[in-house]
Chain A
Amino acid sequence: MELPGGDMDDMKDRLTDAEVEALLARSDEADPTLSELMSEIRDFAEWAPGSDTKSSHIVAAVTAAGAAPETGAVGNSLSQPSTRRPWMFGKILSSRLARVMAAVIAVIMATGGMAYAGVLPHPIQSTVSDIVGVVGIDIDDGSASDLDDAEIDQVDDDQVDDVDDRAVIGVDETDVDDINEDQVEDIDDETVGEDDHSQADDDDEDVDDDDHGQISDDDHGKVSDDEDDGADDGDHGTVSDDNEGHGGGHDDSAGGGEEDD
């Protein structure tokens, strides 16, 4: 067989797409040696069924076509898609998110009933109360004001016990009773609000308290400020009154004047 081009080096050249297509299309422009090889391959591949084989194949095909169901999709695809419509909720429920959501809903439903009954521990009850309060649902938040009568009685008993303990160090039970009665009277006055005098007394007391508190707070605060401003620790240690503290502050200002000099 004569090789294409007559040169062995030409045989190692890479074929172009056009050359390949010319060979496959049996074009006259194709390389003659390779074209001959293509023809040999076609001859080699030639196949014809025997008469018995042909008859048996056709009979089998006709029988299968007659028995084939009416439905089914082929088109140009090999796979037959299912004609059954998928259950949409099945796909939704199969997702991981759906399982998590189901668990969350189950927990909410379980704790919701307990929260509504107010039997959850206080921190959880308070949290749940805050959460559901956003959507306008009022449930107990577990605070003392929401305690029932039995719990209040229990608190009172504890207070009495505490008072009894103090009575051991000098207060007898009659004093305790007086205190309790006074507390009840004060509570009555405050809640009814008819006794102006008692309110005035309360106001006066508030004023006194404020004055006293302000004075003491100011004194202490200013001293503390002086300390922060770098007042002489020695002076502050010896002077216990407020004026000395202010003086220390002024000294600091004078110190500023020394810088001017």
Chain B
Amino acid sequence: MADVVTGRTFSPPADRPNSQAMNPLVFEGVLAAAQEAEEWAWTAMYEWLSPQLGSYFRVRGSTEPDDQVGEVFLQVARNLRSFEGSVEGFRSWVFMIAHNRLANERRRSSRKPIALHADVTELDRDWSPSAESEALDLLDDRVSRLLEHLTLDQRSVIALRLVADISLEETARIMGRSIGSVKQLQRRAIEALRSQLVEEA
């Protein structure tokens, strides 16, 4: 495999992770290599976390998930040298960066109205669609309409817990809330979605 930056070839570990969950032992090696700016390690990290991050940004209604994912990885790269922690802690840290980025973005654009339908259209235009995506456009429109009835915090909980499969405790830590508050948010979010289903029926 050719190095993206230098063009040299490298041999990544045979068990290089490419799934939502990463083996803690593998993570230690990937983290150490990424801290030394090894490209294979960054590729591994990107393939591990970028789909989860992109999904998180989509559920949150972000206008440009591609750019958001790239910005999160830039911030991770700038601060990774002194990171110490477990694989769960690393993933929480990355999502905390993502969560705070959206909070800052929302703060900056607080005077502008949020139009979710326009955001989804914008996303579809920039996003590289899969083969099935066009067939699922109608379904996406329906889901986006359902999510529109949720508050931003409820969307965050659904994105972190349902899409990124992050634990209740880590979700509370990422959002800066108590566990009880997260429980209440996720319950009300699902109840709100259920109410929309009732109205559709």
A interface size (C-beta, 8 A): 52
From A37, A38, A40, A47, give the contact of B65 (CB < 8 A).
Answer: A47
Interface window among B11-19, B22-30, B107-115, B183-191: B183-191
Number of A-B contacts (CB under 8 A): 177
Q: A47-B55, A48-B51, A60-B73 are in contact. Are A74 and B139 (CB under 8 A)?
A: no
Among residues of B, the one whose C-beta sits closest to the C-beta of A11 is B198
The smallest C-beta distance from A5 to any residue of chain B, in angstroms, reads: 11
Interface window among A50-58, A125-133, A246-254: A50-58
The prevalent SS among residues of A at the interface is helix
Contact check, B46 vs A61: say whether CB atoms are below 8 A apart. yes
Contact check, B84 vs A75: say whether CB atoms are below 8 A apart. yes
Contact check, A68 vs B79: say whether CB atoms are below 8 A apart. yes
Contact check, B74 vs A61: say whether CB atoms are below 8 A apart. yes
Q: A53-B70, A57-B70, A59-B4 are in contact. Are A65 and B37 (CB under 8 A)?
A: yes
Contact check, A58 vs B4: say whether CB atoms are below 8 A apart. yes
For A24, the chain B residues whose CB sits under 8 A away are: 161-162, 186
Contact check, B143 vs A11: say whether CB atoms are below 8 A apart. no
Contact check, B93 vs A78: say whether CB atoms are below 8 A apart. yes
From A1, A8, A37, A54, give the contact of B193 (CB < 8 A).
Answer: A37
The smallest C-beta distance from A93 to any residue of chain B, in angstroms, reads: 32
Contact check, A76 vs B42: say whether CB atoms are below 8 A apart. no
Within 8 A of A (CB), among B29-72: 34-39, 42-43, 45-46, 50-51, 54-59, 65-66, 69-70
The smallest C-beta distance from B189 to any residue of chain A, in angstroms, reads: 9
Q: A60-B70, A74-B93 are in contact. Are A65 and B197 (CB under 8 A)?
A: no
Question: A190-231 toward B: CB 8 Å interface, digit per residue (1/0)?
Answer: 000000000000000000000000000000000000000000
**Other A-B pairs beyond A20-B183, A34-B190, 18, CB < 8 Å:** A8-B201, A15-B191, A41-B146, A44-B59, A44-B136, A47-B65, A48-B130, A50-B66, A60-B74, A60-B77, A62-B37, A62-B77, A63-B5, A65-B35, A65-B36, A69-B81, A74-B81, A74-B84
